[in-house]
Amino acid sequence: MSTSNYHHYSPFTKRYLNAVKKQLGLPKNAPLDYEVMRHVLEDPAILSSINADIFMLEQFHAKAGHVIIPSAAISDKVSKDQFTSANPPSWQWPAKVTTVSVPNGQTFGSHKIDGILVGWMKSSEISRQMNKMLRHYNIDEWYEPVEEEGHRLTIAINSPMDEDPINHPCMLRSAFTTSEIYEFINNDIMLPTEHGADPLAAEEHEILREVSNYIVSLGVYISSHPEMVKSGKPTWLKNSIRNPKSAKYLTI
C-alpha cells in the first residue's frame, strides 16, 4: 500500500489560550497557560459552554487518548455512507477519547478539516472528568454527579469557516446519546448544539452533519468488525502527528 499524508487534529485549547493571552496583552509564548486557563475556567459562562467540554476531552486525550488512522479505502467508504445500513445492535467506539486523522483530499461540505476529536464516555464519567479538570486548576467542583449511565458521543472539529482563528478560534461540535445515534443513522436527525452555542449557519450545519456521519459510519464499521482495529502506527502513514512519542495509534 502506498503512503499517504493525513490531516491530524489540531488542539483547540492551545489556540484558545493564545487568543486569551492576546486579549490580556500577554505574549503568546508567555509561560502562563496554567494561570490563564484557571482564569478562563472561573467564568461560569465558559463552564456551561461547549468549550469546557472540549478542554476536558483534549486534556484527557493528552494523557490517555488515541489517534485513529483509517486507511484511505475505509475513509472513502465511510465518507460515502457505505456502512450505516449495517445498523449494528450495539454502536461502539474503541476508546474514551480519540482523534481521527483524515487523508489529504478528504472534504466535508467541500471543506478540508484538521482531523476530528471524538469523545465516547458514560455521562457519569464526563462529570468526573470535568471536576478532575477543575481540581487540577484549584477550582471548586462545579459539575453535579450524573446518575444516568448511558454513553455520550461527542464530535468536534476546528471550524473551517472560522473568520478570525487567531483572535476568536471557533469549534463545531455535535453530541449524541446512544438512541440519538440511531436516530441519526436511520432518520438523519441531528439535534441543535446545546449549551447556548450560537446557531449554526446552513453551511456550518452541513459540514458538521457530514463529519458526524463520517464518525457514526466509522463506528458502525468498527462495531461490526472490531478485529479490524489494530494497535500501532500504520505503514501507509506518511506524516506523523506532532508528538509521536505520546501517540497511541489505532489503525483501521
Domain residue spans of the chain: 6-251
Q: pLDDT value at position 196?
A: 46
Report which of 82, 74, 59 is spatially closest to residue 133, judged by C-alpha positions: 59
Task: Give the full edge-to-edge strand order of the sheet including 249-251.
Answer: 171-177, 151-158, 116-122, 97-100, 66-69, 249-251, 230-231
Categorize the per-residue pLDDT at 192 as very low, low, confident or very high, splitting at 50, 70 and 90: low
Query: Three-state DSSP class for 33?
Result: helix
Q: pLDDT value at position 118?
A: 98
Q: pLDDT value at position 164?
A: 87
Distance in angstroms (rounded) separating the CA atoms of residues 75 and 68: 11
Categorize the per-residue pLDDT at 150 as very low, low, confident or very high, splitting at 50, 70 and 90: confident
Categorize the per-residue pLDDT at 86 as very low, low, confident or very high, splitting at 50, 70 and 90: low
Strands 116-122 and 66-69: unpaired
Q: pLDDT value at position 84?
A: 61
Q: How many CB atoms lie within 10 A of CB 16?
A: 22
Which amino acid appears at position 63 of this protein?
A: K
Categorize the per-residue pLDDT at 159 as very low, low, confident or very high, splitting at 50, 70 and 90: very high
Which are the contacts of 211, defined by CB distance < 8 A and separation ≥ 6?
A: 108, 113, 116, 155, 157, 172, 174
pTM confidence score: 0.92
Distance in angstroms (rounded) separating the CA atoms of residues 212 and 197: 18
- Give yes or no for residue 25 having a pLDDT over 70: yes
Q: Is the dihedral of CA 67, 235, 211, 190 positive or negative?
A: negative
What length does the chain have? 252
Using CA atoms, how far residue 149 sits from 122, 124, 126, 127, 145, in Å, is 6, 6, 10, 11, 11
Query: Quick one: average pLDDT of 61-80?
Result: 91
Distance in angstroms (rounded) separating the CA atoms of residues 80 and 72: 12
- Give yes or no for residue 182 having a pLDDT over 70: yes
How is residue 189 written as a grid cell?
Answer: 436527525
Q: pLDDT value at position 97?
A: 96
Using CA atoms, how far residue 27 sits from 18, 36, 119, in Å, is 8, 12, 32
Categorize the per-residue pLDDT at 27 as very low, low, confident or very high, splitting at 50, 70 and 90: confident
Radius of gyration of the chain (CA): 18
- Give yes or no for residue 198 having a pLDDT over 70: no
Could you list the beta-strand ranges (E) of 42-158. 66-69, 97-100, 102-103, 116-122, 151-158
